[in-house]
Amino acid sequence: MTFEPIDFLERAVAIPSHKSVNEMRDFVVETLREAGVEPTVDEAGNIIAEKGQGTPRIVLNTHIDTVPPHHHLERSAGEIRGRGSCDAKGPLAAILAAFIETDPSAGQLTVAITPDEERESTGADALVFDADGYIVGEPTGLDVCVAARGRFQGTVSLTGKGAHAADPAAGRNAISGLQAVLAGLETYDETQGITAHPKLGAPTLTPTLVSGGEASNRIPAAVELTIDRRSVPPETAPEFFDGLATHLHKRVPAELGLAVERAERDTPFLEGFETDPDSTVAQALQSGGAGETRTFGAATEASYFAASAPTVVFGPGVLSDENGPVAHGEREYVKIDDVRKASDILTQALGILVG
């Protein structure tokens, strides 16, 4: 079978995969089988297919889930539009084209497609490979991304004592403690946090949601603030949450209870990562015709792989353009020519890496 990446992409974008990836997974499995490759689906829902054997072992990875809502397929003016066209079914089409085209003569080539990158990353967390390099498909505008920030989420909870609003001194107003918390978030990286990364810059710490109070005429006994942390290497999630708790305890009034907790999830947070731009995988993509070497603007499952082998992020599409958001946006699209270019660049790179 001759694999045509744009035909595949049009069919893939037409398949909703924001609530369930089952139909999309079946489509990818059938596509690989038609190409003469027998994939497996592991207990975590990952699609895994392999060619060749020995070393080096190169792993191609991306994901098949999308964020809601589903936007239907449109094709016009050299673009494929619709949910997932850019993130990450465009990169998936390019990866499959290169994988199907490549017959390793010196090494092993693995494609591993995960089911829930946009949520808990249980698929990526379950992947264990003895690999020599990873190429993770995401919308990078055909550039080679060798570093990215991580993302942690948690809550800061304050507890006080409820009372009648007519007699505020009888209670302890939990909301009043937010002033100290917000000031503490602004000063955290100056006094307790990590310094700026030479490529990724400074980390960010942003309050994103707040809830508290029970009635307009009652002193609130509790308030909860959700925080978003965009980390940079080498910060880990445990050291961040421990450090933030220590920092805020010094600033919040003693009469209020304080708790800093990480969001509940069964998998590790996506931490920041960095790969040497002179690594074999990065240089192979450059030799294959990729664009500049730079950092990636979003957290990605590359975080899970970078600790064990050189890992880069590459693919067609962009996170945003001059008109605003693209990936996850209402106008999500990918350029047809860029998908074809990505396929060619990956094929050339794989020829360098595995013969």
Provide mean pLDDT across the span 59-73. Answer: 95
Q: What is the pLDDT of residue 253?
A: 94
The predicted structure's pLDDT at residue 90: 97
Which pLDDT value is given to residue 195? 82
Give me the catalytic one of 10, 50, 116, 117. Answer: 117
Q: State residue 181's pLDDT score.
A: 97
Averaged over 88-100, what is the pLDDT? 97
For CATH 3.40.630.10, list the domain ranges present in the chain. 5-148+272-354
Quick one: what percent of the chain has pLDDT higher than 90?
94
The yes-or-no verdict on residue 22 having pLDDT over 70 is yes
Catalytic residue among 10, 50, 65, 132: 65
Q: List, for residues 162-216, the tens digit of each pLDDT value.
A: 999 999 999 999 999 999 999 999 999 988 777 889 999 999 999 999 999 999 9
Residue range 104-124, pLDDT digits in tens: 999 999 999 999 999 999 999
Strand partners, 74: 81
Q: Does domain 5-148+272-354 correspond to CATH entry 3.40.50.1220?
A: no
pLDDT at 77: 84
Average the pLDDT over 305-319 and give the result.
96
User: What's the CA gap between 350 and 104, in Å, rounded?
Assistant: 8
Class assignment of domain 150-262? alpha beta
Is pLDDT above 90 for 62? yes
Mean pLDDT taken over the chain: 95
Instruction: Kindly state the tokens that stand for 342.
Output: 């990505």
Residues 6+ apart with CB under 8 A from 274: 146, 147, 197, 199, 200, 233, 306
Statement: the pTM of the whole predicted model exceeds 0.85: yes
Closest CA to 59 of 297, 346, 290, 333: 346
65 is catalytic: yes
> How does residue 47 score in pLDDT terms, banded at 50, 70 and 90?
very high
> Does the active-site annotation cover 117?
yes
Q: What is the pLDDT of residue 194?
A: 79
Q: What is the mean pLDDT of residues 92-110?
A: 96
Helix (H) or strand (E) holding 93: helix 89-101
Residue 345 near residue 289 (C-beta atoms within 8 A): yes
pLDDT digits (tens, 9 = 90+) for 122-135: 999 999 999 999 99
73 or 226, which is more confident? Answer: 226
Lookup result for tokens 């699609």: 47
Q: Where in the chain is the domain with CATH 3.30.70.360?
A: 150-262
